Every structure is written in C-alpha cells, then in structure tokens.
Structure 1
C-alpha cells in the first residue's frame, strides 16, 4: 500500500506549504481550503497534520462505484463514474476529501507526494508497504 504519512508532527511549523502545493497540483491555485492535506490547531494549541490514510470509507459510501482501490492500494475517484453527490466528502473521517464548487468531481489524496516534496521540515513522507 502506498500512502502519505505524518513522519514528524513535531517538526511542523504551520507554514502551509504542503497545503498550497496540493491545491496547486489539483486546482492550479494555492488555496488551503482546496488541499487534500490539512494543518489544524488542537485545543491545546499544538498542530495536527491530517492526511488521507487510504481507509476506504469514501469508497464504501459511493453508490456510483466511482471510488476504487488501485494496485498500489490508493483509492481513486473515477471522473466518468462520479455523480458528484458529495457522500464521500461527508464520510471522510479526516476532512481531507475536498469538494470545490466549480468542479464536477471531488478531490482526494492520490499519494502523488507533491506535499511531501514541498514540506521544508520533512513532516510528511510516502510509505509503501
């Protein structure tokens, strides 16, 4: 299985470079709300980096069968099959499946590694098992 992991949460400085790289890759614009990686602040003020763990909950709720696992274990959304109902976005336990108003299909992490490469602190990594 291939997925993005949080390798060193303590190193995160909330620069949002990972978020902006992700949104730029998917949407051609650096907008944090469109990123499939999220940096949040917990109640105690510490940072938490949220990434897709490829759990498949989005695929389970997809009535159109548009979300399937590829050979590397990454869940992918088929643009041809997606009916844009938004159930996958609601089902994501980490809030990292993104729906843009001007797109017909939501976006989810495809483990491309753009966020990993962009992070100056080496917070993220690609794990292949």
Structure 2
C-alpha cells in the first residue's frame, strides 16, 4: 500500500509549497489542496496528510470510495452524489470540494507535494497493508 508520510513535522517551515503544488496540479487555482499546513489546537505547526485510513470509505453512503490495487482510497466520481459525508468524516479534514466540481477530492499519494518540499519532509512509501 502506498501512502504519503510526513517524516519530520518539526522541520516544516510552512512555506506552503506542497499545498500550492497540489492545488495547481488538480484545481488550477490556490486554496484547494489535499495536504494541509497549519497550526493545531496546541498552537504548534502541523502538517496534515492522508494516511489512507479508510474512514471516508466506511462512511460513504454511496460506496463511492474504495481502495485500489495500490492501496490508495479513491473516489469514483460516477458513484459520488456530492453529499460530502466523506469531507465531514475525514479525521484530518483534508478531503476537499471545489466549486464547479461534482465530487470532492482526496490525496492519492501522487508525490507532487514530495517533489516541491524544500525541507524534504514528505515521502511516498510502500507499507504493508
């Protein structure tokens, strides 16, 4: 199974390169990204990335989210009704819905964010399922 891993959150400089790269690649505009850099409740810089936990798939009433052969949970845009249950269910709050798109999007461990991170704190890894 592939997943995006944050190797060292403490090294993040909040440059937002990862967010911008994801946003540009998939939405062609800023403000929508499947990775999130921000401050948590303890006022500490936090990097939120999908760990492919599958909670979104379990909560989807249309069974529009499933695990593919690489172990990545993906959204079937043909089955998705846009109810946003997955957005609400995501424990990290990183499933995003852009105006004009019929279905939300989630991280698919593509590695675009990894390539642009100047601190090299992100990595796509293979893990046992």
Report the aligned-residue RMSD.
1.1
CA distance in 1, matches of 2:2, 2:66: 14
What SS does structure 2 have at the residue aligned with 1:34? Answer: coil
Q: Show the counterpart of 1:106.
A: 104
Per the normalisation by structure 2, the TM-score is: 0.94
CA distance in 1, matches of 2:16, 2:36: 8
Per the normalisation by structure 1, the TM-score is: 0.94
Matched, 1:19 2:10: no
Structure 1's unaligned 5+ residue stretches are none
Distance 1:44 1:80, change over 3 A: closer
Structure 2's unaligned 5+ residue stretches are none
Deviation at 1:11, TM superposition (A): 1.3
Distance 1:89 1:119, change over 3 A: same
Deviation at 1:47, TM superposition (A): 0.9
Aligned residues: 127
| 1:54-97 CA-partner distances (Å, limit 9, x unpaired) | 00011011111110001111000011111100000000000010
CA distance in 2, matches of 1:87, 1:26: 21
- Of 63, 68, 74, 2:61 maps to 63
Q: Show the counterpart of 2:91.
A: 93
Q: Show the counterpart of 1:82.
A: 80
Runs of 4+ in 1 over 4 A off after TM superposition: none
